[in-house]
Amino acid sequence: MRFQRRWGQNFLADRTQLERIVESLELATGDQVVEVGAGLGTLTIELARRSAAVAAVEIDPACLKALRFTLRRVANVQVVDGDILRLEVSTLLPSPYRVAGNIPYNLTGALLVHLLEQPQAPARIDLLVQQEVAERIAAPPGAWSLATLGVRVYGQPELILRVPRSAFLPPPEVDAAVIRIIPDAAPALPREALPSFFRFVTPFFQARRKQLPFVLSRRQRVTGVEARRRLSVIGIDPSRRAETLTLEEWRRLFESEHAT
């Protein structure tokens, strides 16, 4: 095998860490799992042993060849040749389905959006990602980022366990973590409003050191005094910054702009 830097390949190579990860997935015999970035099948085999069906998605031709060889006698696994970001994931297995995998770190943001925006979202998502990103997504109130908000609109994230970089081959430059997301039955806002919502919130996080009236006054073309008054009317302290707002407060702020 030649490791493909362009696909961010870091294969799980520590049996102890593999067992910790598999245990954290809490798989049941009836589960159906879409695996993202199956690689050489290390996790795939464990998923197959513990669930009803696995759709193992891989893009690297060399890995695909290895997968088809090592999994040739595993009847409940289908190997899917493709780019996960171009696949309609919800069609790979019947619902309810789950998603799991050891993914390239540079894929995290785009992949989470892709999964959460599926016509039929996964019942649960468990992904190995960069530890810093997992901590940011699962941050408690008061330390939210745009990535945190982007996930919270769709569901509830939780950092499940940390995995040292030494568990991978070749070892990445940072440690990893398993992030779990349980999608809600429906997003916090109507789906048709979400593009406008994310365009609305992005400038606030780009100016995260500034208090809310700084961005709001420019968006609504009003004075700072008026921006502070409008925040007070909807029950938000004007001295706060973007990272401190809850999902409900962001919804109120967004809806207040569209009401003006």
Give the model confidence (pLDDT) of 151-204 as tens digits.
999 999 999 999 999 999 888 899 999 999 999 999 999 999 999 999 999 999
Domain boundary among 183, 203, 227: 183
28 and 148 share one domain: yes
Pairing of the two strands 155-163 and 176-183: antiparallel
Distances 225 to 92, 96, 133, 213, 218 between C-alpha atoms, Å: 53, 50, 36, 8, 12
Domain boundary among 183, 217, 237: 183
89 and 57 share one domain: yes
- How many angstroms separate the CA atoms of 167 and 174, rounded? 11
Helix, strand, or coil (residue 151):
helix
Q: Label residue 258 by pLDDT band (50, 70, 90).
A: confident
**Residue 66's CATH number:** 3.40.50.150
Ordered alpha helix ranges (H), 5-92: 15-25, 42-50, 61-70
Ordered alpha helix ranges (H), 35-153: 42-50, 61-70, 108-116, 131-137, 146-152
91 and 195 share one domain: no
Number of domains present in the structure of the chain: 2
Helix, strand, or coil (residue 215):
helix
* Average pLDDT value for the chain: 93
Q: What is the mean pLDDT of residues 206-229?
A: 94
How is residue 91 written in tokens?
Answer: 């069609």
34 and 158 share one domain: yes
**Residue 244's CATH number:** 1.10.8
Q: What is the pLDDT of residues 114-161, one digit of tens each?
A: 999 999 999 999 999 999 999 999 999 889 999 999 999 999 999 999
Domain that holds residue 235: 191-259
Domain boundary among 160, 183, 206: 183
